[in-house]
């Protein structure tokens, strides 16, 4: 087990680089998650890894530690309500207001291995395929390059497709990979792209978005870090854009950039005083 000084150093690293709060009750995670990193780097133990991190904090070492410690839990159609709200309320209104451009951009922030952006694409194909000529751009971002590589492959194990996908959706939107699970169809895959992005850094290079999903990530941030992330998200949203947060994400008293939808829980719009988005 690492000492208190190393644990404090790890806490600071995660807080500074990606906003993650590593509380003392999560000490047990350090050995299980950083042990494989130490072995991969040819170090004898997590203690040696922490010493190396403190003495020679090379960027590849820092990145490997962050990627190992960040939670990548994800599943398809997690909490069905946001997808239903998007399809029933948000998209019909936006399609009317964008009838001439026929283009909508959706950002899945902290998308992990891609289940959320692919779920968004599936929902759109199911409910709006009878609207020809529309361009749908769904951008999934995450801080981890290895996890983004997995997401970009569109391949998922039988265990992963069994979490959140009905048999009907699996048959409609996936092709079997003999002995290795399933892969999303080209029709779904073509709607989604992936980029590396840290939510605590400016996102102007991503462009402007009409809808943003940022669910179940703010719970790992303290209040100032939440405010910073939400401010950066707000800068990339269209004036009438919609933000979806997770059921456990609370922004009360954290930011004035967003106002909750009066009838729909978990949906937020830019507050009237918020400035217009900056495009790349």
The answer on pLDDT for 275 being more than 80 is no
Q: Is residue 164 domain-shared with residue 244, that is, in the same domain?
A: yes
Nearest C-alpha neighbor of 107 from the set 12, 180, 205: 205
Q: Domain tally for the chain?
A: 2
Residues 109 and 159 in one domain: yes
157 shares its domain with 212: yes
The percentage of the chain sitting over the pLDDT mark of 90, rounded to a whole number, equals 60
pLDDT digits (tens, 9 = 90+) for 87-98: 999 999 999 999
What is the percentage of the chain residues whose pLDDT exceeds 70? 96
Say if residue 62 is in the same domain as residue 88.
Answer: no
Any domain includes 76: no
183 and 246 part of one domain: yes
With beta carbons less than 8 A apart as the criterion, state whether 213 and 107 touch.
yes
Q: What are phi and psi of 149, to 5 degrees?
A: -65, -40
CATH number assigned to the domain comprising residue 116: 3.40.50.150
Instruction: Mark whether 30 and 132 lie in a shared domain.
Output: no
What tokens were used for 66?
A: 């962050």
pLDDT at 86: 98
DSSP tag of 105: E
Indicate the residue among 69, 90, 119 that finishes a domain: 69
96 with 205, same domain? Answer: yes
Domain stop point among 49, 69, 89: 69
Query: Quick one: pLDDT at residue 13?
Result: 83
Find the distance separating the first CA and the last CA of the chain, reported in whole Å.
45
pLDDT at residue number 131: 92
Q: Is 213 helix (H, G, I), strand (E, B) or coil?
A: strand
The whole-model pTM stands at 0.83
pLDDT at 278 over 60: no
Could you give the CA distance from residue 170 to residue 157 in angstroms, rounded to a whole number?
12
The tokens for 189 are 């895959």
Tell me how crowded residue 176 is: count the other CB atoms within 10 A of its CB.
13
142 lies in the same domain as 250: yes
Q: Is there a single domain that holds both residue 92 and residue 221?
A: yes
Query: Is the pLDDT reported for residue 273 higher than 70?
Result: no
Q: Are strands 181-184 and 174-177 parallel, antiparallel or unpaired?
A: antiparallel
What pLDDT, on the 0 to 100 scale, is given for residue 274? 47
pLDDT digits (tens, 9 = 90+) for 37-88: 888 888 888 888 888 888 878 888 888 888 887 766 789 999 999 999 999 9
Q: Which residue has the tokens 């992330």?
A: 229
State which residues form the domain around 29.
4-69
How do residues 201-237 score in pLDDT, each as one tens digit? 999 999 999 999 999 889 888 899 999 999 999 999 9
CA quadruple 222, 223, 227, 230: dihedral sign:
positive
Indicate whether 57 belongs to any domain.
yes
SS3 at position 199: coil
Residue 257 in domain: yes
**Contact by Cβ (8 Å): 9, 46:** no
Average pLDDT over the chain reads 90
Q: What is the pLDDT of residues 16-32, one digit of tens each?
A: 887 777 877 777 778 78
187 and 60 inside one domain:
no
pLDDT at 7: 82
Say how far residue 266 (Cα) sits from the centre of its chain: 16
pLDDT tens per residue across span 157-200: 999 999 999 999 999 999 999 888 999 999 999 999 999 999 99
């Amino acid at each position: 087990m690492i000492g208190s000084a190393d644990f404090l150093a790890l806490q600071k690293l995660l807080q500074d680089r990606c906003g993650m709060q590593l509380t003392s009750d999560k000490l047990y995670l350090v050995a299980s998650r950083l042990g494989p990193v130490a072995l991969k780097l040819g170090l004898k133990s997590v203690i040696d890894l922490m010493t190396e991190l403190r003495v020679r904090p090379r960027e590849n070492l820092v990145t490997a530690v962050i990627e190992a410690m960040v939670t990548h839990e994800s599943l398809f159609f997690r909490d069905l309500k946001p997808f239903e709200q998007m399809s029933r309320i948000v998209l019909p209104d936006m399609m009317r207001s964008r009838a001439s451009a026929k283009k909508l951009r959706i950002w899945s922030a902290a998308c992990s291995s891609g289940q959320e952006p692919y779920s968004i694409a599936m929902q759109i194909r199911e409910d709006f395929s009878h609207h020809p000529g529309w361009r749908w751009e769904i951008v999934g971002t995450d801080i981890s390059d290895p996890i983004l590589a997995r997401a970009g492959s569109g391949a998922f194990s039988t265990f992963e497709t069994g979490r959140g996908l009905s048999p009907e959706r699996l048959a409609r939107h996936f092709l079997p990979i003999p002995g290795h699970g399933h892969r999303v169809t080209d029709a779904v895959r073509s709607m989604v792209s992936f980029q590396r992005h840290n939510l605590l850094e400016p996102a102007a290079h991503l462009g402007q978005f009409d809808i943003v999903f940022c669910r179940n990530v703010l719970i790992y941030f303290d209040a100032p870090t939440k405010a910073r992330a939400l401010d950066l998200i707000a800068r990339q949203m269209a004036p009438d854009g919609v933000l979806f947060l997770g059921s456990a994400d609370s922004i009360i008293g954290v930011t004035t950039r967003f106002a909750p939808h009066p009838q729909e829980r978990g949906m937020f719009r830019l507050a009237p005083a918020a400035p217009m988005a900056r495009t790349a």
